[in-house]
């Protein structure tokens, strides 16, 4: 998982913040709206898929 997050961070898609032993990630809010829309669509699709499986 951390390798995937590193790739996203290096691409500028997410920002990270250390919190003791944890690293917290969030979407980079300064992304172009087109990129943000794609990320939101992927996250929404993933959430919907998880709900169907559960």
| 3-state secondary structure string across 10-36 | HCCCEEEEEECCEEEEEECCCCCHHHH
Q: Where are the domains of the chain?
A: 2-53
pLDDT number for residue 44? 94
pLDDT number for residue 1? 73
CA distance 5 to 15: 9
CA distance 53 to 21: 32
Q: What's the pTM?
A: 0.66
pLDDT in tens, 10-54: 999 999 999 999 999 999 999 999 999 998 999 899 999 989 887
């Amino acid at each position: 998982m951390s390798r995937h997050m590193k790739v996203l961070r290096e691409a500028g898609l997410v920002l990270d913040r250390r919190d003791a032993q944890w690293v917290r990630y969030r979407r980079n809010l300064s992304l172009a709206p087109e990129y943000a829309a794609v990320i939101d669509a992927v996250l929404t699709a993933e959430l919907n898929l998880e709900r169907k499986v559960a």
